[in-house]
Amino acid sequence: MSGDASANFDEMYDANGNVRPAYEDYCEWYDEQDRTILRRKHEEAESFFRRTGITFNVYGQDDAEERLIPFDPVPRIITASEWRRLSRGIEQRVRALNAFLHDLYHRQEIIRSGRVPEWLLHGNEAFLPHMSGFTPPGNVYTHITGIDLVRTGKDDFMVLEDNARTPSGVSYMLENRETMMAMFPELFTRVSVAPVSNYPRRLARSLAACPPPAFDGSNGRKPVVAVLTPGIYNSAYYEHAFLADQMGAELVEGTDLRVIDGRVQMRTTLGFTPIDVIYRRVDDEYLDPLTFNPDSVLGVPGIMDVYRAGGITIANAPGTGVADDKALYSFMPEIVEFYTGEKPLLPNVETWRCMEPDSLAYVLDNIEDLVIKEVHGSGGYGMLIGPTSSKREIAKFTAKLRANPHNYIAQPTLSLSTCPIFTKKGLAPRHVDLRPFALMSPNGIDITPGGLTRVALKRGSLVVNSSQGGGTKDSWVLEE
């Protein structure tokens, strides 16, 4: 695909320039608005985000360590029927991922069957032998999952990647909605939009439904939930603090916790008190210096021993990062079918595994037309978009591919759908993706309507990540 947005599916307008049904009420409202007032409200929203601290950190850039995530006030709108179909596909995928993780750390039936090759685990840094033979409380590995979706046509939604380790971005979903409702309250009286503000309560309820075996609720006591953050310098610290506050949970760092009498306990003004469930936003490597990285000061020494002994629930479970592996992603159709007995409701993007000689040869021959990604990459880093890259960039990436093909996968350059953003000259199309959030507990899977829409603010750009200059939008799911 070239950078020409006109070649893509536009979610607001059809090929004849007519407004699609999902946007009719919004466009009717928009046409009535004074553009000067809209521009002023857009500026007010950015000022609010800065005052509130809705920022993220950029690593390795001293002059721009903390940035504001750009917010676009034109919502991305999904119909109720479209969302029903997406929800079914997301639920199916999350169930399959959770079943796959359980199998991977137990009998590995899917590998024995030959549906997934054993080499995917050999040398996979996200696979944790410490989890082998252990079943997390409630048999839940993926308490919170973010499924990244892209759209290429009217009925064509695909999964771009799975985020089962520590998916982020939900705070921006919530703040985007709150900001829109504060700026344009009359708009929500004209358009019936499914609410998202109850996500923190649903998250707290879902986590509390997964207490560890050591938890004693006989006296009516509810599980104590805490959010474990690496600290204020983490790129998603705002989100950690926001969710802890909204859930009514404690926000803790590793230095606030210690293992006492076989339980993980947090320091309070009255001494130490046990925690039952930890929603950790610390990566596996730093979670326990006695088990993983001995130099880590972010985690809790001994927490893995307590976990395996049934004294604490960790969400998401250690070792879930295997599901984020982009080489493994290419086997998700087989994984879904193996564990659900059904064909995937949401297809994958075609993917070439560069560690396979035939695939590598194809990728090298067609690199100018493909997107190349690191198998453990995230945030838009370490990738090449062939059609928008220079000959020098392609030559450097070709050398990387030849030197370490196991580290890369390749995909076609998709014609991502576009949604309008608000500019000084009016509405202009930009490429978007969508990250819905699914909560899993023994009681079932709960999917918040909509999710986080990320938008590439640069004309023609396909990279929506905030770290690469992207912004966010409010995502609306229309109610019946």
Q: DSSP labels for 115-156?
A: SS-GGGTTT-TT--GGGTT---GGG-S-SEEEEEEEEEETTE
Residue 265 pLDDT exceeds 50: yes
What is the band of 2 on the pLDDT scale with cuts at 50, 70, 90? very low
Cα-atom radius of gyration of the chain, to the nearest Å? 23
462 vs 199: CA distance, rounded Å: 29
Mean pLDDT of the chain: 91
Give me the pLDDT at residue 65, please. Answer: 53
Per-domain residue ranges of the chain? 5-349+414-477, 350-413
- Span 350-413 CATH architecture: 2-Layer Sandwich (3.30)
Mean pLDDT for the stretch of residues 211-239: 92
What is the band of 64 on the pLDDT scale with cuts at 50, 70, 90? very low
Residue 321 pLDDT exceeds 80: yes
What is the band of 57 on the pLDDT scale with cuts at 50, 70, 90? low
Give me the pLDDT at residue 379, please. Answer: 56
Dig out the tokens for 68 from the structure: 């504001």
What is the band of 54 on the pLDDT scale with cuts at 50, 70, 90? low
CA quadruple 132, 343, 356, 365: dihedral sign: negative
Q: Which residues pair with 354 in a beta bridge?
A: none
Give me the pLDDT at residue 66, please. Answer: 61
45 vs 51: CA distance, rounded Å: 10
Residue 347 pLDDT exceeds 90: yes
> How many residues comprise the chain?
480
Dig out the tokens for 190 from the structure: 């004209």
What is the band of 335 on the pLDDT scale with cuts at 50, 70, 90? very high
Q: Which residues pair with 450 in a beta bridge?
A: none
Give me the pLDDT at residue 214, please. Answer: 92
Residue 46 pLDDT exceeds 90: no
Which of 36-50, 74-88, 424-438 is the least confident region?
36-50
112 vs 121: CA distance, rounded Å: 13
Give me the pLDDT at residue 259, please. Answer: 98
What is the band of 291 on the pLDDT scale with cuts at 50, 70, 90? very high
Is residue 140 packed enough to be buried (19+ CB in 10 Å), middle (13-18) or exposed (0-12)? buried
What is the band of 224 on the pLDDT scale with cuts at 50, 70, 90? very high
Give me the pLDDT at residue 121, please. Answer: 83
Model confidence pLDDT, tens digit, residues 409-461 = 999 999 899 999 998 888 999 999 999 999 999 999 999 999 999 999 888 88
Give me the pLDDT at residue 4, please. Answer: 43
- Convert 320-333 to b/e letters by CB count within 10 Å (16 or more is b): bbbbbbbbbbbbbb
Residue 342 pLDDT exceeds 60: yes
Model confidence pLDDT, tens digit, residues 249-262 = 999 999 999 999 99
Give me the pLDDT at residue 1, please. Answer: 31
